Amino acid sequence: MKLEIVPDYAELSRRAAEIVIAECRKRPQIVLGLATGATPIGMYRQLVQAYQRGRVSFSRATTFNLDEYYPIAPDHPHSFRRFMHQQLFDQVDLAAERIHFLRGTAADVERECSRYEAELEAVGGIDLQVLGIGENGHIGFNEPGTPFHLKTHKVALTEQTMRANARFFGSLADVPRHALTMGICSIMRSRKILLLASGEKKADALAAALLGPVTEAVPASVLQLHPDVTVIADKAAAQRLA
Ligand code: F6R
């Protein structure tokens, strides 16, 4: 595992974008695994700028997002799909047919999860997976206690995650209680993983994930078992790593 500690969020966003850009240039037909949430917003901004300056193209890239609330309509103001369109998809040259998302309106959840896994398999898996980390150590929406062997599945969000995400919805009551998420097993199959952590709220989770035992109680700790993980943390998030 490679750890880069950077001074602040701006630098974290720049470094993360540089890694994504370098991988996209190395392999234009790259399969990217993408995260939502506050952490990668700065990185997406940098990617859009790099695209506008002609430094990177996504025209042959494929994307899979990690997760989506359930149930939620794709055009709901707080759906992860809408978020991705606003932050990245609508501003770069990604081909619509190569954008993959879990459908928050799927009637048959099991079928939807199998469809996603089959699509992942069909493209040969993820080359570079970008991850954030929850305050409770979750990755994707794999909450503490999620078995490591699970592939894409439906989850009940914990109270803590719903509270953390209420900042986007305005009120806790409006946060969906469930989500569909790529499982730990699906995430661990990615060839390369980039984990981003910003802010002191993430300091305990990051320390537990990187320095503690590998345990399902801290989902991100599984990354210690992956052969190619880069962690970029700003000073605030890294403060308990010493
Ligand atoms: C989002 C996701 C989550 C977030 C995590 C951190 O697609 O999978 O695991 O990465 O909840 O969220 P922020 O970045 O908002 O602190």
Task: Tell me the per-residue pLDDT of 113-126, one tens digit each, with 9 for 90 and over.
Answer: 999 999 999 999 99
Print the domain residue range for 49.
2-200
Q: Is residue 229 part of a domain?
A: no
- pLDDT for 211 equals 98
Check if 65 is active-site: no
CB count in 10 Å sphere of residue 115? 16
Task: Domain count for the chain, please give it.
Answer: 1
Q: Is residue 238 part of a domain?
A: no
Q: Is residue 235 part of a domain?
A: no
Q: What is the mean pLDDT of residues 40-45?
A: 98
Is the pTM higher than 0.95? The answer reads: yes
- pLDDT for 242 equals 77
Q: Which residue has the tokens 């999860």?
A: 113
**Percentage of residues of the chain with pLDDT beyond 90:** 95
The mean pLDDT of the chain is: 97
Give the H/E segment covering residue 129: strand 128-131
Each residue's pLDDT tens digit, 166-215: 988 889 999 999 999 999 999 999 999 999 999 999 999 999 999 999 99
- pLDDT for 167 equals 87
Residues 6 or more apart whose Cβ sits within 8 Å of residue 81: 65, 68, 74, 75, 101, 104
CATH number at residue 28: 3.40.50.1360
Q: Which of 141, 180, 202, 223 to mutate to test the pocket of ligand 1 (most atoms within 8 A of CB)?
A: 141
Q: How confident is the model at residue 155 (pLDDT cuts 50, 70, 90)?
A: very high
Query: How many helices (H) and strands (E) are present in the chain, helices listed first?
Result: 8, 10
Contact 182, 67 (CB under 8 A): yes
Q: Is residue 103 part of a domain?
A: yes
Q: Is residue 76 part of a domain?
A: yes
Q: Is residue 227 part of a domain?
A: no
Going from the C-alpha of 37 to that of each of 24, 107, 167, 213, the distances in angstroms are 22, 25, 11, 26
Q: Is residue 174 part of a domain?
A: yes
Q: What is the mean pLDDT of residues 37-56?
A: 98
Q: What is the mean pLDDT of residues 80-93?
A: 98
Instruction: Spot the catalytic one: 23, 68, 112, 143.
Output: 143
Each residue's pLDDT tens digit, 122-139: 999 999 999 999 999 999
* Whole-number Å distance between alpha carbons of 242 and 237: 11
Check if 142 is active-site: no
Q: Is residue 159 part of a domain?
A: yes
Q: Is there an atom of ligand 1 within 6 Å of 63 CB?
A: no
